[in-house]
Amino acid sequence: MLYRLTKSKFILGLQCEKALYLDIYKPELAYFSPETLVRFRKGRDFEAKIKSTFTNGVDISQLLGRNIQRYPELTSRLLQEHDEISIFEAGFVFNEVLVLADVLHKDADGNIYIYEIKNSLSVKDVFRRDVNIQYYVIGNCLKNIRSFSIIYNDGNDNPCYEELLPDACNAMPLIASQVERFKEVLQGTEPHIVTGQQCTTPYDCPYRRYCNGEITSQLDLGFF
């Protein structure tokens, strides 16, 4: 299945359209600080702990690795073949947008429950946007979605839950318009956007050094 955007690229585009453009056309210029890499690792550790509580889960990332384009096909087949199943990194594509759900559970009655896992002490606005883009895609691929929850950290690596399905349903028209906007951005030239608050909010932008003139090529990154 062909896709132009992913969940992470969509979220990056909301922060800065120039960053989105660079992530598609000049990804080699991205720089992640040691602090950011530590945050990524802690997030993966918390996610792994939560996933371990779902019995008999099927992890598509372990089966297919980097063959992301095959995730939606395998997800569809697993949902068809099993009356009840939990799938990790379940893949879906709609309108050229690919999303991977941290956990998707289908119960014996065919009801779908989706969980997004965040190693955070609260549910931030960016997490809500994360769920919104996922629901925009998955909601157009599946019926019977009964719940879409954020699982976050209570401070002791135990899960807290917040239901976001109603908000995600209401956000569908806005997400659709934002998707079309980002497609337009990617059809043009590199946007001219001056540095500002968007460089650090809600995340440190991996292209901030490039925009500040500190990186102009792979040589600056020390790849050669």
> In terms of pTM, does the model score above 0.85?
yes
Q: How many residues does the chain have?
A: 224
Q: Which residues of 192-213 are buried (b: 16+ CB within 10 A; e: fewer)?
A: eeeeeebbeeeeebbbbbbbee
The token duo for 177 is 């318009």
What's the pLDDT score for residue 126? 97
What's the pLDDT score for residue 56? 84
* C-beta of residue 120 within 8 angstroms of C-beta of residue 153: yes
Task: Give bridge partners of residue 150 from the DSSP assignment.
Answer: 116, 162
Helix (H, G, I), strand (E, B) or coil at 54: coil
Number of structural domains the chain divides into: 1
Identity of the residue numbered 77: R
Task: Give bridge partners of residue 5 from the DSSP assignment.
Answer: 97
CATH number of the domain that residue 160 is part of: 3.90.320
Sequence-ordered list of residues with C-beta below 8 angstroms from that of 1, at least 6 positions apart, any chain: 69, 72, 73, 93, 98
What's the pLDDT score for residue 217? 52
How high does pLDDT run on average in the chain? Answer: 94
What's the pLDDT score for residue 216? 59
Interatomic CA distance for residues 76 and 80, integer angstroms: 6
Interatomic CA distance for residues 55 and 13, integer angstroms: 35
* C-beta of residue 120 within 8 angstroms of C-beta of residue 154: no
The token duo for 3 is 């896709």
Tens of pLDDT, residues 146-178: 999 999 999 999 999 999 999 999 999 999 999
Using left for φ > 0, alpha for ψ between -120 and 50, and beta otherwise, residue 155 falls in left
**Domain with 38 in it:** 5-221
* C-beta of residue 133 within 8 angstroms of C-beta of residue 99: yes
Enumerate residue ranges in the chain where pLDDT < 70. 1-2, 215-224
